[in-house]
Amino acid sequence: MATRTKLYFASDFHLGTGNYANSREREDRLVRWLDTIKTDAAEVFLMGDIFDFWFEYKTVVPKGYIRFLGKLAELADAGVKIYLFKGNHDMWMFDYFEHELGATIISDELEIERNGKKFYLHHGDGLGPGDTFYKFLKWFFRSRFCQWLFARIHPNLGVGIANYWSRHSRITSEKKEVNKPGQHEWLVTYSNELLKTHFYDYLIFGHRHLPLDIQLNEKSRYFNLGEWVNYHTYAVFDGESVTLHYFENAAPVIA
């Protein structure tokens, strides 16, 4: 059996967006990807918007995604450590995955050090200057009061409302995001500001929906993990360096 040494990072699967057939096709691809990493993965970081909507009622969770969740359970049972980040679409994760998978739920940033390399990990939403209205919405939706209110809604209605919102999200159009000059990539700007007071070898984000590998300075690199509607991208740390890869897709990494 292969030694488990690698760290895998992926984000923005948006399971549930689009029609059922498209979501199932995406789920099947993710299962195939997880199957390829199950023998050498030590830790898997799923960095937000794994689901296009997720809400855990006290005794109810959204139906579906059984093959994906089953494969995660298989990895967890084999000793792979799983981290699930709250994105802006699935911020209402509570303790279901902790109980079922032994997963660690990350609400905001996570700083880790592995093999002498320092990592800053975040889904990417609500960072940097501006976007005051979204930051207010994020604060409200994450509040216990809002969660309590939503939990009072019957799941049929609550999930129905969420699915209506989902049909109007930017990922639903399946249009690829466009790379912007460095100073206009807000997560690059945020990373550069962060590096003025902290050192990280790697700063890894999701949310942007664009696979990016950018050298920030002599020692620090910025990665965006892209998404799995168009790109099917993920990153790997092999103990020495982080690299960005496409799964079943020959498209080049944008730099």
Report yes or no: 134 and 126 within 8 Å, Cβ to Cβ.
yes
Nearest one of 73, 119, 65 to 90, comparing CA atoms: 65
pLDDT band at 28 (very low <50, low <70, confident <90, very high): very high
pLDDT band at 20 (very low <50, low <70, confident <90, very high): confident
In sequence order, what are the beta bridge partners of 85? Answer: 106
Integer-rounded Cα radius of gyration of the chain: 18
pLDDT at 6: 96
Q: Which amino acid is at 220?
A: S
Q: What is the pTM of this model?
A: 0.82
Summarised one tens digit per residue, pLDDT across range 30-75 is 999 999 999 999 999 999 888 886 667 777 676 778 999 999 999 9
Strands (DSSP E) contained in the chain are 6-10, 41-46, 81-85, 104-106, 110-114, 117-122, 202-205, 211-215, 221-225, 233-237, 242-246
User: How far apart are the C-alpha atoms of 196 and 213, rounded to whole Å?
Assistant: 20
CB under 8 Å to 152, separation ≥6 — which residues? none
Please name each of the domains of the chain with its CATH number. 6-246 (3.60.21.10)
User: How far apart are the C-alpha atoms of 45 and 8, rounded to whole Å?
Assistant: 6
Summarised one tens digit per residue, pLDDT across range 154-199 is 666 666 666 656 655 555 555 566 666 555 688 999 999 999 999 9
Quick one: what percent of the chain has pLDDT higher than 90?
47
Phi and psi, residue 238, nearest 5°: -100, 10
**How many residues does the structure list for the chain?**
255
Report yes or no: 112 and 192 within 8 Å, Cβ to Cβ.
no
Question: What is the H or E stretch that residue 70 is in?
Answer: helix 66-77
Summarised one tens digit per residue, pLDDT across range 129-161 is 666 655 656 655 666 766 666 666 666 666 666
User: How far apart are the C-alpha atoms of 153 and 87, rounded to whole Å?
Assistant: 22
- The region of weakest confidence among 51-55, 66-70, 111-115, 251-255 is 251-255
pLDDT at 34: 97
